[in-house]
Chains A and B, each alone.
Chain A
């Protein structure tokens, strides 16, 4: 099975077809996707800004990291579930869309980020507050997190603006080149 067949099968699945063809389901899922960006994406941003010392400064960093963890996980699940449904409904367009590919790559890098900084930052946040100043590793983690998430958000928006090269045109050009 080629990737094209695979994504065609996803697009043709009952669930993806329902999302695509319902006048209400698609915008409702998209709204939920955006609402979780607003609520839980906001928490990610505030955690990063706390590590950089720009927000919530009277709240210990450990408190921000530990108490928001469950909410950010919940939000991540809602966000990703909605995202998968939206992408599946247009799977054949999405997999060939460079902005979608960038978005998925950045999401994978978020996973790498979590693994890399688990020991030094997120897994043991009390050490961040007991240090005389916020450790550099925490600030680096926060900056990278901001770049990754704002990148994911931007790539997501740009997916909608990508126009795939028209096949007839490229065939004509190739053909013209071949016979000229």
Chain B
């Protein structure tokens, strides 16, 4: 097996590389979570009310997907700077679990309710769960560094 030494990782050897990667991670987070919450607000009857939630989803989903892809790519780069510490960090493991759950939820249940016909109560509940799920990932991201 090839041995991997994080000390050889360019992200650990360049003054600018790591913070710049983090900036892309945060920017991509704003694109992905920002667009998802825009649809969630509409599901709750708030925000851009002159459009349907389905229209908003169709109008913003490419930015959501692009944001997620950049956030995951930069996340993997950040992970690569110290993989052993990350896999031992319980908050990080929670973050990864919540992330997988949130992505699956977003493209199955959430999408189904946005494009289908559900009661106002169901729509609010599904939107609320979405907001809580995505925000918990942000919290876990910060707490990974503080535990």
Residues of A within 8 A of B (CB): 23, 26-27, 30-31, 34-35, 37-43, 45-46, 49, 55-60, 63-64, 67-68, 71, 150, 153-154, 157-158, 160-161
Contact = CB atoms under 8 A, between A and B. Distances in A.
A163 to B, nearest CB: 10
B118 to A, nearest CB: 22
Contacts of B134: 38
B89 interface: no
Specify the main secondary structure of chain B where it touches its partner.
helix
Given A27-B142, A30-B142, A42 B33 contact: yes
Interface in B28-76: 29-35, 37-38, 41, 46-51, 55-56, 58-60, 63
Contacts of B143: 27, 31
A93 to B, nearest CB: 17
Contacts of B10: none
A39 to B, nearest CB: 5
A158 B19 CA distance: 6
Given A31-B139, A59-B48, A161-B19, A45 B59 contact: no
B23 A41 contact: no
Interface of B: 15, 18-20, 22-23, 26-27, 29-35, 37-38, 41, 46-51, 55-56, 58-60, 63, 134-135, 138-139, 141-143, 145-146
B60 A55 contact: yes
Contact of A63 (B30, B31, B51): B51
Contacts of A41: 30, 34
A64 B35 CA distance: 13
Contacts of B138: 31, 34-35, 38
B19 A157 contact: yes
A59 B34 CA distance: 16
Contact of B30 (A23, A38, A58, A160): A38
Given A27-B146, A39-B37, 13 more contacts: A31-B142, A34-B142, A37-B30, A38-B33, A41-B30, A55-B63, A56-B59, A59-B51, A59-B55, A59-B56, A60-B50, A154-B19, A161-B19
A35 B34 CA distance: 10
A173 B49 CA distance: 64
Query: 4 closest pairs, A vs B, by CB?
Result: A42-B34, A38-B33, A27-B146, A41-B30
A35 B145 CA distance: 16
B24 to A, nearest CB: 10
Contacts of B141: 34
Interface centre among B22, B23, B41, B48 (most CB of A within 10 A): B48
A43 B139 CA distance: 19
